[in-house]
Structure 1
Amino acid sequence: MSPVITLLIIIAAALVLFVSERFPIPLVALSISVVLMLTGLVTPAEGISGFSSPATITVLAMFVLSAGLQKTGIVRSLGELIIRFAGGNQYKGLAAIMLVAGGLSAFINNTAVVVVLLPTVIILARRTALSPAKLLIPLSFSSMLGGLGTLIGTSTNILASDVANKLGYGPISMFEFTKLGVIVFLVGGVYLLLFSGRLLPERRGPREERTESYHLRDYLTELVILPDSPLVGSTVAQCRLRQLSDADVLEIIRAGSKLEQPFADERLQAGDVLMVRGKVQTLLRVRRSAGIKILPEVQLRDSDLVADRMGLLEVLISPTSHLIGRTLEEIRFRNRYNATVLAIQRHGEAIREQLSKNRLAVGDALLIQGPSAVLEMIQASPNFIIVGEVPHETLRREKTPIALGIIIGVVLLAALNVLPILVTALAGAVLMVLTGCLEMSEFYEAVRWDVIFLLAGIIPLGLALENTGAAASIAQYAVGLSSVLPPLLILGLFYVLSMLLTEMISNNATVVLLIPIATAAATDLGLNPQAFIMTVMFAASMSFLTPIGYQANTLVYSAGGYKFTDFFKVGAPISLILIPITVYLISVFWPL
């Protein structure tokens, strides 16, 4: 079998695994590099070159720099400014959200921008009597558009520069495409400002009860322990109710008073009223053997789950959470946090059954009940993003000028070609720790290791495309189109292909896969390869059609209560508007 055919089979298998999400994407990426080495398509040195690639190291450093801006309160201060500027006006609020998110995303990781601004946006929605769904997709989209302003705006830009440099076209400079990025941001921003409010539904009201949004009324039940029940005398931890019905005890009412948590060691008594989380049908099947009486339907409100020292908290699983891929049972959530997860919302659907068996994913929304002191501790955990309220977080605001100075130094030294961006970014990351803007533990936590391993795994794929001649072979199909299509339309085809591919796999994988092919096609057609590099890079960051193509979309998915189609409803028009504008302007700024 020829090396080209072998590589195409590997790419096809990788695409299937990326789309199916059966295995974690970083694992798939690393597997690609291993298979490439085993088949001899790359040397061992080339197979691990992704770990030492300037793109990988630069992206790692940028995560740390982004964390420095977060921990010194710069991003939070801008979020507070949004609320003050809006003054209850939804259009002013939406404009401020897009400007701040887009401006920040030009210099720090856009996912980090969404993480920090998300609670602020939900607070703004409540103050303007808007559904959060009207604002969260614009937050995500504007952060993606803003990332196209500078080289360091996204990991995709940095990777595209590295791939282009390895192919012999030289690196991309800091502000080389800023003019185009600003135009694209303004066009996209005007569209979102004028039409997103009309196209987006009110999935969750500004003050909607969380018991309603998670449909808990169908899953919480009150029951009474009868005098002859075998549960009498046993502790909550020992009782067989959970084994019999997979039900969790959330509350005990005895003689008209609620018992305080923790009550795992509390012995149950006849006449105790228990509020439990579980399916009513299952409880009905075991009521005789358990000696319980099911009370009439609970008319449940948030206040019913809150007491003097108890509260409710809604959180999202953060992109850097150590809980990703693990179940509540594996992490012993209740014992670890002394709190109960009432429900999980994923991709717009509430999960209320077998919660302890579900593996957590980025963007999952958890509704948690627990003591107020425990909820404050959860708010401070980097594993979670707080929804609807500003988290209690200690910020080093006195270090703000230092952090800003470091970022400005990183950008200017790279922009003026005094030092490569790799060197300035690494130096800036080290200075963030040396100056006290970050602690060393926060340095480690800031790095998105899933992205680092993704980059390290897929970079050898670009080398294999060149080594085997596969890029040139595939490019011949584009050359064949030149007899029937003008160069501008061929450029547009690469744009559309890149945009669609990034929805199915990842933006970084798209860049590594398509830039070698696009530049080979440009060379064979006698066109400007730089224009094709920019086309693939810009299109790979235009993930507007689905909530799964870009992590910023995934984060707002559950928080806004969106359905999958909501992203397409808003994203398809903006994509159709930006395709001709971006392709035409690329041909103007980088003449074909």
Structure 2
Amino acid sequence: MTWEAWWSLVVVGAVFPLMAFTRIGADIILLGGLVVLLTLGVLSPEQALAGFSSSGVFTVAAMYVLVASIRETGGIDFIVRHVLGQPRKERHALLRMMVPVAALSGFINNTPVVATFIPAVMHWSRRLRIPAYRLLMPLSFASILGGTVTLLGTSTNLVIHGLLTTYYPELHLGIFDIAWVGIPVAVVGLVYLWLFAVPLLPYRRSASEVFENPREFTIEMMVAPGGALVNKTVGEAGLRQLNNLFLVEIEREGNIVSVVGPGEQLKSGDRLVFAGTSDGAVDLQQVRGLIPSDQSASNLEKDFKERRLVEVVVSPQCQFVGRRIRDGHFRTVYGAAVLAVCRNGQRLEGSLGQIRLQPADVLLLEARPPFIVRHRQSQDFLLISQVDGAARPVHEKAWLAWFILAAVALLAATGLVSMMKAAILGAALSVLSGCCTLAGARKSLDSQVLLTIAASYGLGNALMASGAAEHMAEVLLTLVGAHPLGLLIGCYILVAMLTELVTNNAAAVISFPVVMSAAASLGVSPMPYVVVMMFAASASFLTPLGYQTNLMVYGPGGYKLSDYLRVGGLLNVLTAAVALLLIPMIWPWS
């Protein structure tokens, strides 16, 4: 091999473990690898930056705007309200939830679908008296299965199709072409979940159950009339330096002061709500001028327009992951106070300020109303669900947003315009029609995903241009045998394993040139391998980290890693068997 090929292998070999075992963002790691290869001269500037002008990246970006228009107009909420209903049996409930989720995920990125369904399903489960853990994992898996039905279902499908048209301009797939495999895979997967998901899942306590009694994690005191603290600021009273407690809010004459600052002046009769350990109640009673609250009901159970209680799920990209809440000044950064932390279905005891946050932790926050709008699309949180309020209203333009998406699918399916042009046209119409604001469109663009895809293109180019992909293909063929079916199975296993460890987009894009080189060595059509990579990249059922929707339900459902292995293991085998059986029948080797 040439020195360029060796350096390409070294960089790619370093990229995967860094993405799998560190908290550094995938986009930063991949861009770093790209810079190294560019600096060493393995890649020319044109090759390194080719991903930033690829059709796949622009198509994915436009689809984010289309999905944002449906979310902003309440299009998904409208469907949620009309499909869940009032089933009488648990299996009926599973069916009523999974089928529409899978259908929606065939046309919309499954992350917003699951994000919208989770709060509705949590409320629905309480009304039906079905434990939430029996519904949330099937919800995530149904969305993943639905994403395999069309090219629009996941960003990975669009990216792989973009690579196909780049490497082989004469080849392409229609939006519904993969449905010949996707529908059987989805049906088999949904039937399996319907029959076996509930029996296989042991009892788990959901985050909402942990948080349902505010008295368990708050302490309420009152400023004594005429006492020593009247007219003193919170800072002067020493209420900001308490070891195991946070002052969350103040109730004053029927109003609420939320996210209290050190300069807030205390008044006679103020009711103070603290979050922290029960031992802190003893310390508070030693503060001169504070007396136990005389109210029988918890202050957090009252409805104040200036205050919202929200549950958030911590993202792996959150800046507080690995840091203590107090050290990171959580309240200052987000304008919200942490009331409690739930991990693996258990509320964490001890001082809140000393807790080091982990991905998928569920936080109960006290915040002002703008917090929900400001952070709904924040990369720090996978999910934001309001605890003490109604769902967002359905807006009058929901039908128009759905019509635009349907028009995009129709234009691309009929071949009148390319998929990229159809998506960009749809995104422009969404903004011009008012279905999505400019600010909403800008926020909808997930820069980390887009940068990850673009940088992955560059690394794939390095493998191809340097000849490293050909050598890796030879190794792959040695392992699986020089037979088209053996290569197909090996390709599926390779991509499915990588997607459990790193992002599915990176796994697919970097594997693409290797698999294409192997197919070229055998002299067979690349189409079966392109399609099998789409399905393998979506086969993320074994771990919560393999797919974002899995991580979104992990905390709220109170799951453990063993639950994903127990339910997702056989599901992985079933979906692989169906895909590997059907793909060669529909896309032959020659």
**Which TM-score band applies after superposition, normalised by the shorter structure?**
0.7 to 0.9
Which secondary structure does the structure 2 equivalent of 1:245 belong to? Answer: coil
What is the deviation of 1:292?
Answer: 9.9
The answer for the alignment partner of 1:396 in structure 2 is: 395
From the superposition, tell whether residues 320 and 19 of structure 1 become closer, same or farther in structure 2 (CA, over 3 Å): closer
The answer for the alignment partner of 2:380 in structure 1 is: none
TM-score, length of structure 2 as denominator length:
0.85
Q: Cα deviations across residues 276-309 of structure 1 (Å, max 9, x unaligned)?
A: 3334567879987x669999xx9x9995632353
Q: What one-letter code is carried by the residue in structure 2 that aligns with 1:15? A: F
What is the deviation of 1:239?
Answer: 3.0
What is the deviation of 1:210?
Answer: 1.3
The answer for the alignment partner of 1:261 in structure 2 is: 257
For residues 167-566 of structure 1, the aligned pairs below 5 Å read 167-168=167-168, 170-204=171-205, 208=209, 210-211=211-212, 217=216, 220-221=218-219, 234-250=232-248, 260-262=256-258, 265-267=264-266, 276-279=274-277, 303=298, 305-307=300-302, 309=304, 313-317=309-313, 334=331, 340-345=337-342, 348=345, 350=347, 364-369=361-366, 374-375=368-369, 377-381=370-374, 382-383=376-377, 385-386=384-385, 392-393=391-392, 395-397=394-396, 399-481=397-479, 487-566=484-563
Contact 1:253 1:273 in 2 (8 A): yes
Contact 1:432 1:438 in 2 (8 A): yes
Q: Cα deviations across residues 324-362 of structure 1 (Å, max 9, x unaligned)?
A: 879977997657887532023356564566756878787
Alignment partners' CA distance in 2, 1:429 and 1:359: 40
Shifted more, 474-483 versus 271-280: the winner is 271-280
The answer for the alignment partner of 2:121 in structure 1 is: 121
Alignment partners' CA distance in 2, 1:308 and 1:22: 39
Alignment partners' CA distance in 1, 2:59 and 2:414: 17
Q: What one-letter code is carried by the residue in structure 1 that aligns with 2:152? A: I
Q: What one-letter code is carried by the residue in structure 2 that aligns with 1:517? A: V
For residues 87-102 of structure 1, the aligned pairs below 5 Å read 87-102=87-102
Q: What one-letter code is carried by the residue in structure 2 that aligns with 1:195? A: F
In the alignment, does 2:5 pair up with 1:4?
A: yes
Contact 1:245 1:283 in 2 (8 A): no
Contact 2:312 2:365 in 1 (8 A): no
In the alignment, does 2:157 pair up with 1:157?
A: yes
Q: What one-letter code is carried by the residue in structure 1 that aligns with 2:456? A: I
Which secondary structure does the structure 2 equivalent of 1:562 belong to? Answer: coil
Q: Cα deviations across residues 385-438 of structure 1 (Å, max 9, x unaligned)?
A: 2156775535432x2343233212211221121111111100110001111211
What is the deviation of 1:167?
Answer: 2.6
From the superposition, tell whether residues 564 and 301 of structure 1 become closer, same or farther in structure 2 (CA, over 3 Å): farther
Contact 2:245 2:275 in 1 (8 A): yes
Shifted more, 181-190 versus 301-310: the winner is 301-310
Contact 2:528 2:584 in 1 (8 A): yes
- What residue ranges of structure 2 are gaps of 5+ in the alignment? 378-382
Which secondary structure does the structure 2 equivalent of 1:345 belong to? Answer: strand
What is the deviation of 1:196?
Answer: 0.9
What is the deviation of 1:445?
Answer: 1.7
Contact 1:542 1:575 in 2 (8 A): yes
Pairwise CA RMSD: 3.8
Which secondary structure does the structure 1 equivalent of 2:209 belong to? Answer: coil
Give the count of matched residue pairs: 574
Contact 2:320 2:328 in 1 (8 A): no
Q: What one-letter code is carried by the residue in structure 2 that aligns with 1:21? A: T
Shifted more, 320-329 versus 486-495: the winner is 320-329
From the superposition, tell whether residues 389 and 236 of structure 1 become closer, same or farther in structure 2 (CA, over 3 Å): closer
Q: What one-letter code is carried by the residue in structure 2 that aligns with 1:343? A: A
Contact 1:174 1:414 in 2 (8 A): yes
From the superposition, tell whether residues 6 and 351 of structure 1 become closer, same or farther in structure 2 (CA, over 3 Å): farther
Contact 1:544 1:571 in 2 (8 A): yes
The answer for the alignment partner of 2:166 in structure 1 is: 166
From the superposition, tell whether residues 307 and 69 of structure 1 become closer, same or farther in structure 2 (CA, over 3 Å): closer
Q: Cα deviations across residues 65-96 of structure 1 (Å, max 9, x unaligned)?
A: 11122223321111011222x43433222112
Shifted more, 302-311 versus 557-566: the winner is 302-311
Alignment partners' CA distance in 2, 1:49 and 1:351: 47
Q: What one-letter code is carried by the residue in structure 2 that aligns with 1:101? A: V
Alignment partners' CA distance in 1, 2:153 and 2:103: 10
Q: What one-letter code is carried by the residue in structure 2 that aligns with 1:393? A: R
From the superposition, tell whether residues 550 and 563 of structure 1 become closer, same or farther in structure 2 (CA, over 3 Å): same
Contact 2:55 2:162 in 1 (8 A): yes
Q: What one-letter code is carried by the residue in structure 2 that aligns with 1:189? A: L
Q: Cα deviations across residues 32-81 of structure 1 (Å, max 9, x unaligned)?
A: 22122112221112212222111110000001111122223321111011
Q: Cα deviations across residues 145-176 of structure 1 (Å, max 9, x unaligned)?
A: 11111111111001111222233263332222
Q: What one-letter code is carried by the residue in structure 2 that aligns with 1:171? A: H
- What residue ranges of structure 1 are gaps of 5+ in the alignment? none
From the superposition, tell whether residues 347 and 29 of structure 1 become closer, same or farther in structure 2 (CA, over 3 Å): farther
